[in-house]
């Protein structure tokens, strides 16, 4: 870890918490000025690489010297804005940074195919704004700042989802739906933050927590809690606030879906954890009640109902989108257990899920790139026509089911163990039921890919067409990571455990 902490010059490393957000924001403006899509992509790629390096550096710094508190502009909190890096947001920074980088590599061929040439530079610019917003939500220690970055990322997200209209006009309604619901969510959230400000007179989260502990809770803070949970729940696609998600994922450009599916809902989920554990306290009665009676229940329902919905989809991306709602349910259930084991299992699944869904959506994007397919039945024979992508898809798909040799198994193992520790047998049953449903919907995809014959044109079977290497490489990296982290689960388990300990009083 010393190496990670030291590889950047000290002058840069000190400002890493700010730079990791500021650089993508500035680069967004630079990308907008680029004359063509290729240069816009290059700017984005460099930015994503820098962000990934900063994320690794921050990991090193936090491990070596504990929580980082960065005072923006030199103004000490609670007056100034504080950026705060601890073990809880490190996993998120790593996921957003590294998976984001892989997605950006993948973007060039995919975006080139789907977005009109004259809009590509602007598209990358909007993407970078979204990227910066997600990183900002993750790193900031200021409640109002969370709102600001949430809106920055959301507004940019509406734009880049709508850019899918070049291929399918339904992207516009999908984006508009998301805009309406997302704005409602953001409004709820800011009302909640407003109430908290009213009750405590501060916007710094750590400060809020200290004051709340001193003054205790009243109706205002309870209302704030409700507003914040609903607002962030909407962003995190917490069942039943997920209705925006399936269409948004189904009609957005493939690159956007791959990126959002592995990062966006997870960042909102992180923000939820941050508020529940760091601002409110899990020992407060209405918070601890919400664990069992809200998050665990809602998560369990999501695991089963959304998986069931996924089984009956005809569009491959919508199917995976419903599966994402179900997977958020797993994380909510882990959170709802209210124990360190449960929370860390949820966070472990958060990271693992990014690996699975990233690879799955990239592979679907590769299929779409070469053959323009969207529906499940059009995936027929992809094992013959695009063997490498089909293989990556299969690995990640099995991981989603939780078959051993993949990280999905590790997730299930820790979730079930945590449920047993809590004595929640019904949760174990629900986890298994959901796994079986996952088996059912993944089997639909895989049987089309492996068992059905490729379509024929005038009696001739479709030819084998390999995906471009810029698609193959990031996709394979993610797919192989699904296997690698089964055999070396240690780093991810350790990160998840450290994250849970960071907010549950392990330190």
Partner 1 sequence: MWTPELSLALALAIPAIGGVFVALLGSRPNLREAATLIAAVLLAFNVAYLVEVAQGHPTLNLATLAPGLHLVFKLEPLGAIFAAVASGLWIVNSLYSIGYMRGNNEKNQTRFYVCFCIAIAGAMGVALSGNLLTMFLFYEVLTLSTYPLVTHKGDAKAKRGGAIYLSILLGTSIGLLLPAVIATHFLAGSTDFVAGGLLAINEITPAISSVLLVLFAFGIGKAALMPVHPWLPNAMVAPTPVSALLHAVAVVKAGVFAMLKVGTYIFGPGLIAITPAADALAWIAGISIVLASVVAMTKDDLKARLAFSTVSQLSYVTLGVMLGSPLAMLGGALQIVMHAWGKITLFMSAGAIYTATGKTEISQMDGLGRYMPWLFIAYTVGALSIIGLPPLGGSWPKFFLLQGAWDSGHGWLMVALIASSILNVAYLLPLSARGFFSPPAEAKLKKQPPMLVILPPVITAAGVIVLFFLIGPLRDYLAPVFLSSNLAAEAAL
* Neighbour tally for 178: CB within 10 Å: 22
- Regarding 392 and contact with partner 1 (CB under 8 A), the answer is no
Whole-number Å distance between alpha carbons of 142 and 85: 12
**Residue whose C-alpha is closest to residue 253's, from 456, 110, 460, 137:** 110
Nearer to partner 1, 168 or 452 (CB): 452
Rg for the chain (alpha carbons), in Å? 22
- Could you say whether residue 351 binds partner 1 (CB under 8 A)? no
C-beta closer to partner 1: residue 277 or 424: 424
Out of 13, 134, 294, 439, which residue is the one contacting partner 1 (CB under 8 A)? 439
Region at 329 (left for phi over 0; alpha for psi -120 to 50; beta for the rest): alpha
The answer to whether 401 contacts partner 1 (rule: CB under 8 A) is: yes
Contact 237, 52 (CB under 8 A): no
Nearest approach, Cβ of residue 423 and partner 1 (Å):
10
Residue 495, CB half-sphere, CA atoms under 13 Å: how many?
23
Q: How far is the CB of 441 from partner 1 (least distance, A)?
A: 12
CB atoms within 10 A of CB 1: 11
Q: Is 486 in the site for partner 1 (CB under 8 A)?
A: yes
Please tell me whether residue 403 binds partner 1 under the rule CB under 8 A: yes
Each residue 238-277 as x (binds partner 1 by CB under 8 A) or -, in order, gives ----------------------------------------
Nearer to partner 1, 235 or 353 (CB): 353
Does position 456 interact with partner 1 (CB under 8 A)? The reply is no
Site for partner 1 in 126-155 (CB under 8 A): none
Identify which range of 169-177, 202-210, 226-234, 397-405 contacts partner 1 by CB under 8 A. 397-405
Q: Does 404 bind partner 1 (CB under 8 A)?
A: yes
CB crowding 179-201: b at 16 or more within 10 Å, else e? bebbeebbebbbbbbbbbeebbe
If one asks whether residue 412 binds partner 1 (CB under 8 A), the answer comes out as yes
Q: How far is the CB of 405 from partner 1 (least distance, A)?
A: 7
Per rule CB under 8 A, is residue 501 in the interface with partner 1?
no
Task: Please answer whether residues 193 and 143 qualify as being in contact, where contact means their C-beta atoms are separated by less than 8 angstroms.
Answer: yes
- Based on the shown chain and the rule CB under 8 A, indicate whether residue 480 belongs to the binding site for partner 1: no
Choosing from 36, 218, 447, 507, the residue that interacts with partner 1 (CB under 8 A) is 447
Contact segment (CB under 8 A) with partner 1 among 56-64, 143-151, 349-357, 416-424 equals 416-424
For β-strands 460-461 and 82-85, DSSP reports them as unpaired
**Residue 488 in the binding site for partner 1 (CB under 8 A):** yes
Residue 275 tokens read as: 């508020």
d(CA 177, CA 18): 33
Q: Is 379 in the site for partner 1 (CB under 8 A)?
A: no
Q: Is the dihedral of CA 155, 160, 163, 168 positive or negative?
A: negative
Among 1, 79, 451, 461, binds partner 1 (CB under 8 A): 451
At closest approach, how far in Å is the CB of 329 from partner 1? 17
Using the rule CB under 8 A, which residue among 489, 495, 502, 503 binds partner 1?
489
Helices (H) and strands (E) in the chain, counts: 23, 4
Q: Please, what is the minimum distance in Å from the beta carbon of residue 312 to partner 1?
A: 16
**369 or 493: whose CB is closer to partner 1?**
493
12 binds partner 1 (CB under 8 A): no
Structure token pair of residue 417? 């163990």
Among 405, 426, 456, 506, binds partner 1 (CB under 8 A): 405
Report if residue 436 touches partner 1, rule: CB under 8 A: yes
| Cα(332)–Cα(26) distance, integer angstroms | 35
Alpha-helix residue ranges (DSSP H) falling in 95-169: 100-114, 120-139, 143-162
Q: Is 417 in the site for partner 1 (CB under 8 A)?
A: yes
**315/99 Cα distance (integer angstroms):** 25
Closest to 356 in 3D by CA, of 407, 294, 410, 425: 407
CA atoms within 13 A on the CB side of 171: 23
For position 416 contacting partner 1 by CB under 8 A, the verdict is yes
Tell me the C-alpha distance between 158 and 71, whole Å. 31
Binding site for partner 1 (CB under 8 A): 398, 401-405, 410, 412-413, 416-417, 420-421, 428-429, 431-433, 435-436, 439-440, 443, 447, 451, 486-490, 493
């Amino acid at each position: 870890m010393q190496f990670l902490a030291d590889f950047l010059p000290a002058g840069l490393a000190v400002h890493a918490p700010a730079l990791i957000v500021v650089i993508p924001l500035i680069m967004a403006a630079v990308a907008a000025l680029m004359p063509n899509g290729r240069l816009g992509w290059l700017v984005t790629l460099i930015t994503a690489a820098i962000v990934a390096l900063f994320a690794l550096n921050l990991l090193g710094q936090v491990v070596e010297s504990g929580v980082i508190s960065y005072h923006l502009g030199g103004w000490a909190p609670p007056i100034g804005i504080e950026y705060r890096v601890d073990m809880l947001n490190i996993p998120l920074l790593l996921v957003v940074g590294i998976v984001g980088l892989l997605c950006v590599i993948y973007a060039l061929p995919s975006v080139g195919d789907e977005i009109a040439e004259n809009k590509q530079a602007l598209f990358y610019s909007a993407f970078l704004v979204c990227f910066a917003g997600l990183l900002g939500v993750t790193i900031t220690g200021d409640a109002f700042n969370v709102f600001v970055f949430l809106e920055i990322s959301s507004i940019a997200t509406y734009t880049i989802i709508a850019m899918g209209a070049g291929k399918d006009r339904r992207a516009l309604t999908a984006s508009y739906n998301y805009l309406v619901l997302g704005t409602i969510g953001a409004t709820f959230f800011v009302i909640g933050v407003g109430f908290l400000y009213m009750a405590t007179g501060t916007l710094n989260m750590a400060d809020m927590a200290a004051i709340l502990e001193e003054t205790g809770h009243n109706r205002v803070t309870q209302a704030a809690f409700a507003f914040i949970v609903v607002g962030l729940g909407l962003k995190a696609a917490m069942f039943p606030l997920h209705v925006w998600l399936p269409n948004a994922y189904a009609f957005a450009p493939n690159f956007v879906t791959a990126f959002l599916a592995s990062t966006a809902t997870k960042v909102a989920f992180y923000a939820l954890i941050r508020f529940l554990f760091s601002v409110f306290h899990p020992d407060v009665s209405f918070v601890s009640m919400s664990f069992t009676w809200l998050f665990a229940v809602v998560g369990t329902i999501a695991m089963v109902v959304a998986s069931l919905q996924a089984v009956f989809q005809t569009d491959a991306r919508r199917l995976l989108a419903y599966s994402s709602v179900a997977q958020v349910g797993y994380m909510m259930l882990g959170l709802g257990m209210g124990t360190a084991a449960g929370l860390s299992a949820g966070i472990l699944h958060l990271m693992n899920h990014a690996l699975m869904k990233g690879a799955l959506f990239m592979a679907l994007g590769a299929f779409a790139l070469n053959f323009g397919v969207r529906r499940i039945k059009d995936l027929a024979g992809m094992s013959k026509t695009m063997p490498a992508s089909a293989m990556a898809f299969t690995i990640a798909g099995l991981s989603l089911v939780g078959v051993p040799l993949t990280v999905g198994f590790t997730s299930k193992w820790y979730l079930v163990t945590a449920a047993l520790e809590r004595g929640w047998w019904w949760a174990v049953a629900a986890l298994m039921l959901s796994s079986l449903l996952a088996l059912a919907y993944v089997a639909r995809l895989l049987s089309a890919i492996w068992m059905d014959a490729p379509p024929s044109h005038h009696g001739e079977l479709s030819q084998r067409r390999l995906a471009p290497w810029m698609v193959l490489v990031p996709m394979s990296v993610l797919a192989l990571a699904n296997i690698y982290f089964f055999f070396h689960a240690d780093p991810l388990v350790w990160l998840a455990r450290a994250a849970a300990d960071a907010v549950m009083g392990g330190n």
